[in-house]
């Protein structure tokens, strides 16, 4: 069947490609009881704080309220022996936030785990994808 003009006029997000390419995502979470201590959302927030040097700017970049971002940062800091995010006091920029050495290590080790997991399972992932319809 030829693609109709109706298909092409479909709203964004309604699925322009009929069958998008399958993507494998590994997600790791460290839970404590019902609470997620470390997970993909918190790691992405830490990375964005590292880039923007600001919780406010990071929240905006991710599309999250400042309050929500602050709570997540507080959660992460409480979950760790030593905090992942520190406030910069004063200076020309009037504050801001930065990742501590522990914060940087947490992000690095988390991303390394995800990447290595995918690498270690490449053959099985290929096998699984071969079961999927084109």
Among 13, 63, 91, 94, binds its own copies (CB under 8 A): 13
Q: Which of 79, 96, 98, 104 binds its own copies (CB under 8 A)?
A: 79
Give residues 21-50 in contact with its own copies (rule: CB under 8 A). 21-34, 37-38
d(CA 65, CA 72): 11
Integer Cα distance of 94 and 14 in angstroms: 44
For 6-35, b where at least 16 C-beta lie within 10 A, e where not — what string? eeeeeeeeeeeeeeeeeeeeeeeeeeeeee
Phi/psi at 63 (nearest 5 deg)? 85, 40
**x/- map, 112-131, its own copies, by CB under 8 A:** xx--xxxxxx--xx-xxx-x
Q: Does 104 bind its own copies (CB under 8 A)?
A: no
Residue ranges binding its own copies (CB under 8 A): 13, 15, 17, 19-34, 37-38, 78-82, 102, 105-106, 109-110, 112-113, 116-121, 124-125, 127-129, 131-134
């Amino acid at each position: 069947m030829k693609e109709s003009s109706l298909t092409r006029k479909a709203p964004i997000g309604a699925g322009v490609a009929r069958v998008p390419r399958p993507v494998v995502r590994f997600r790791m979470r460290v839970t404590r009881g019902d609470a997620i201590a470390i997970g993909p959302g918190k790691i992405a927030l830490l990375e964005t704080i590292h880039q923007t040097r600001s919780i406010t700017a990071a929240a905006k970049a991710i599309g999250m309220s400042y309050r929500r971002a602050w709570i997540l940062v507080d959660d992460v800091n409480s979950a760790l022996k030593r905090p992942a995010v520190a406030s910069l006091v004063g200076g020309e920029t009037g504050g801001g936030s930065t990742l501590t050495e522990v914060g940087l290590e947490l992000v690095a080790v988390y991303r390394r785990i995800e990447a290595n997991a995918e690498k270690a399972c490449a053959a099985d992932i290929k096998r699984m994808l071969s079961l999927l319809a084109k």
